[in-house]
Amino acid sequence: MLKRRDFLRATLVTAGALAAPACGGDPEIVNPVAGEPAPERELADGSAYFPQSVASGDPRPGSVVLWARVQDGEEDLDVEVEVATDAEFTQRVALDAGLAKVKALARHDHCVKVKVRGLSAGTVYYYRFVYVKGDTGYVSRVGRTKTAPAEEADVKVRFAYVSCQDYIGRFYNTYLALAEEELDFFVHLGDYIYETTGDPSFQSTEGRSVAFTDKAGAIALGEGDSAFHAARSLSNYRELYRTYRSDANLQKVHESFPMIATWDDHEFSNDAFGATATYFDDRKDETDVERRKAANQAWFEYQPVDYGDDAEQDPGASLPDDFRIYRDFVFGQHVHLVMTDLRSYRPDHLIPEGAFPGKVVLDATTLIEELQELPELAMPYVDDIETYSDGIYASVLKEAAEAAGYDAADVTGKISALVINQIVAGVNEGLPEDMQVPLIPDEAIAFMERGIAYVDLGKLSAHGSIGARYLTVKDTFDIYAALRYKETQGASEDVMGAEQESWFLDTMEGSKATWKVWGNEFCLLPLAVDLTPYAIPEQFKRRFNMNADAWDGFPNKRNELLERLVEIGGVVAITGDIHAFYAGTAGLDGDPSKKIVEFVGGAVSSAPFREMLMSQVAGDPVLSAVPGAVLLAAGIDDVLMSTETKVNPHLAHADSNAHGYVVIEASGEELVAEMRRISAADVQTDYSETSDQLEIGSKRFRTLRGESEIYVDDRGTWKRWDASTQMWI
């Protein structure tokens, strides 16, 4: 037990000292703001009262947000905050009384957030929280943080970024490694939590787990052995943060560096848009505003994020009604970090999960009017299913569609002949020969008009994500998206919402920094696969967009933004979400030389993209039946980087089977991205006690000021990616 006065002996502030200027001669008083000397009391190790330890975030030249959570019953609890420039707390920062003594409020799950202002720029600070209980002060672990350098400082900036940290059955070896880095801060690009307690489609069913106390408040999903819950109540979401933040490796990272976080989908719900979830793939409306509010509140309580520059210094601040999380940070002359929110304002995915594959969305007249010609992938359709062939197909189709879970109301008007014949053939299989319905003969099909139906966009099965959010046919999707964009005056791809978008572009445009780093949640660079050369059924010999939940689902808005960003120059996107490491560029349609560089970082722990893709294919009723499909998924990096199909020449590096993080070092000349890779198999092993045995691979890339080229460090020489040959030269 140490007496508090021992800590304070050197730094007891007097009224006289308080009047001294902040940068005055006394090194012991770093930030003399009014504060009373703390009373003497016994100090004791309080780590048991701080089961989530401490964290800091949103560093700015003069301020940083400090966070802790105290656990001791249901009452509001007294907490004191201490900040110093040394880990021993001999050089203490005098805090304003309103900050030095705060309450851990029950209504905020006893989370405490304090925004400390008036700090020196580019300076390391240490902080701790003291839970005052009776005569004893229980001290948290010591956190280290660092303010941002002054805007005019010509300094290198070094930070890491991470994303996707599924906790269930997986270990945070990534954080074990990251904690050893020398960094100014780290960025979290989302999926800090996963809202489900073990979704068998992508989460482990063994090892460490998450369970909800408030099961009644959660959403029950799955059946039998694969039943699980998704968070819905505030209690559920808080419990997720508490559990995730109980991890010692994650705690170590929070204790070492300030974090700048945005959210992606899983902080609320998988593949969400606004307040709408996608578990039921369009079987019902999943909009749930209360659930979204609960998710946001827990995030706000548990993440060390700023509560707004205009807000009063209110450690117990509640979630403001106009809560927005997009925000920017300046780190000296060279880095301007612009963090977006690509989940809260975006529209629904373009192709509904419940869409009836046969429904024609672009008919021949529309296509010719808009494109002056029919695209190659336009397919024959009957003009009116109700009257075609005296309506014999209408009743068969409606019945079959309803049985398969489609909306029979979609089975009207123009319907794909291919789908009619597929369904009729299926129905005929169960019927005696004399009751079978004849297929539409090829001769009739040859004379039909051609258009694009949902099936031609990739929709193959009922109420599924394939062909809606994933694996859409690129060539038809891009046509459809462009026409919808025009028709809705951009609303169909309004990813950011008008207010955020103009803030985003204004911020980028107004930035004087060498590097405008965009903290971007999901892949900006196009990621298509071209399956035409592979030995698979004819129907799949197409180019597919991997993920319409990412920017490939918004190609027109992407192009519009890129036009501005290319013009501004020096913009680099850092990205998470896809659980893979990629380096590449996103270029303008029509002029791929106009582009911006993107570095995509792998998941902290969530199943790597290759694994996810393989299980998605294996789990889809249609794709699993395609011979060779799982093998193709297993070879995804070769498919993405194929020099035969040249489908992604802008993609310079693909590693879809690893975990890890990326370290960025940015100066006035270059921005270096070092991808730190941990093999996928190692996620099952806890290396906390054997960290020397953890293998960490490293691959260095860079881009230079005034260019948008990518270079790789090839044993000491920088080689440039040449998209035309798809080689490093």
Q: Which is nearer to Fe ion, 166 or 282 (CB)?
A: 166
Q: Which is nearer to Fe ion, 273 or 711 (CB)?
A: 273
* Strand-strand pairing, 515-520 and 571-575: parallel
* Side-chain half-sphere CA neighbours of 411 within 13 A: 23
Q: How many residues bind Fe ion (CB under 5 A)?
A: 3
Give the residue from 419, 490, 405 showing the smallest Cα distance to 451.
419
Task: State yes or no: residue 272 binds Fe ion (CB under 5 A).
Answer: no
CA-to-CA distance for 178 and 250, rounded, in angstroms? 9
CA max distance for the chain: 104
Q: Which is nearer to Fe ion, 233 or 606 (CB)?
A: 606
Q: Which is nearer to Fe ion, 164 or 473 (CB)?
A: 164
CB of residue 339 to Fe ion, shortest distance in Å = 17
Is residue 535 within 8 A of residue 355, CB to CB? The reply is no
CB of residue 471 to Fe ion, shortest distance in Å = 18
Is residue 122 within 8 A of residue 146, CB to CB? The reply is yes
Strand partners, 249: none
Q: Which is nearer to Fe ion, 191 or 598 (CB)?
A: 191
User: Would you tell me the crossing angle of helices 289-302 and 234-244 to the nearest 10 degrees?
Assistant: 30
Q: Which is nearer to Fe ion, 271 or 306 (CB)?
A: 271
Q: Where are the alpha helices (DSSP H) in 218-342?
A: 234-244, 248-256, 289-302
Of 157-165, 443-451, 583-591, 631-639, the window that binds Fe ion (rule: CB under 5 A) is 157-165
Of 40-48, 70-78, 158-166, 324-332, the window that binds Fe ion (rule: CB under 5 A) is 158-166
CB of residue 655 to Fe ion, shortest distance in Å = 16
Q: Which is nearer to Fe ion, 164 or 524 (CB)?
A: 164
CB of residue 603 to Fe ion, shortest distance in Å = 6
CB of residue 201 to Fe ion, shortest distance in Å = 13
Q: Which is nearer to Fe ion, 606 or 656 (CB)?
A: 606
Q: By rule CB under 5 A, what string of x and - marks binding of each residue 81-120 to Fe ion?
A: ----------------------------------------
CB of residue 461 to Fe ion, shortest distance in Å = 24
CA-to-CA distance for 105 and 315, rounded, in angstroms? 10
Q: Which of residues 568-627 bind Fe ion (CB under 5 A)?
A: 606
CB of residue 164 to Fe ion, shortest distance in Å = 3
H or E element in which residue 558 lies: helix 555-568
Residue 401, classified by CB atoms within 10 Å of its CB into exposed (0-12), middle (13-18) or buried (19+), is buried
CA-to-CA distance for 700 and 702, rounded, in angstroms? 7
Q: Which is nearer to Fe ion, 191 or 306 (CB)?
A: 191
Q: Which is nearer to Fe ion, 187 or 394 (CB)?
A: 187
Of 82-90, 161-169, 175-183, 387-395, the window that binds Fe ion (rule: CB under 5 A) is 161-169
Convert 547-567 to b/e letters by CB count within 10 Å (16 or more is b). Answer: bbbbbbbbbbbbbbbbeebbe
Is residue 111 within 8 A of residue 89, CB to CB? The reply is no
Q: Which of residues 114-133 bind Fe ion (CB under 5 A)?
A: none
Q: Which of residues 683-712 bind Fe ion (CB under 5 A)?
A: none
CB of residue 268 to Fe ion, shortest distance in Å = 12
Q: DSSP assignment of 312-350, as one string? A: -S-TTPPPPTT----EEEEETTTEEEEE---SSS----S
Is residue 514 within 8 A of residue 668, CB to CB? The reply is yes
Q: Which of residues 484-543 bind Fe ion (CB under 5 A)?
A: none
CB of residue 581 to Fe ion, shortest distance in Å = 14
Q: Which is nearer to Fe ion, 415 or 580 (CB)?
A: 580
Structure tokens at 155: 């300094």
Give the residue from 329, 239, 229 showing the smallest Cα distance to 574.
329
Give the residue from 521, 692, 672, 679 showing the smallest Cα distance to 600.
521
Q: Which is nearer to Fe ion, 297 or 605 (CB)?
A: 605
Q: Which is nearer to Fe ion, 191 or 267 (CB)?
A: 191
Q: By rule CB under 5 A, what string of x and - marks binding of each residue 179-218 to Fe ion?
A: ------------x---------------------------
Of 12-20, 104-112, 159-167, 653-661, the window that binds Fe ion (rule: CB under 5 A) is 159-167
CA-to-CA distance for 579 and 643, rounded, in angstroms? 23
Give the residue from 571, 509, 559, 607 showing the smallest Cα distance to 703.
571
CB of residue 266 to Fe ion, shortest distance in Å = 6
Q: Which of residues 314-343 bind Fe ion (CB under 5 A)?
A: none
CB of residue 185 to Fe ion, shortest distance in Å = 21
Q: Which of residues 640-679 bind Fe ion (CB under 5 A)?
A: none
Structure tokens at 114: 């304090």
Of 58-66, 107-115, 163-171, 414-422, the window that binds Fe ion (rule: CB under 5 A) is 163-171
CB of residue 606 to Fe ion, shortest distance in Å = 5
Task: State yes or no: residue 168 binds Fe ion (CB under 5 A).
Answer: no
Task: State yes or no: residue 164 binds Fe ion (CB under 5 A).
Answer: yes
Give the residue from 625, 606, 597, 628 showing the smallest Cα distance to 534.
628
CB of residue 566 to Fe ion, shortest distance in Å = 28
Q: Which residues bind Fe ion (CB under 5 A)?
A: 164, 191, 606
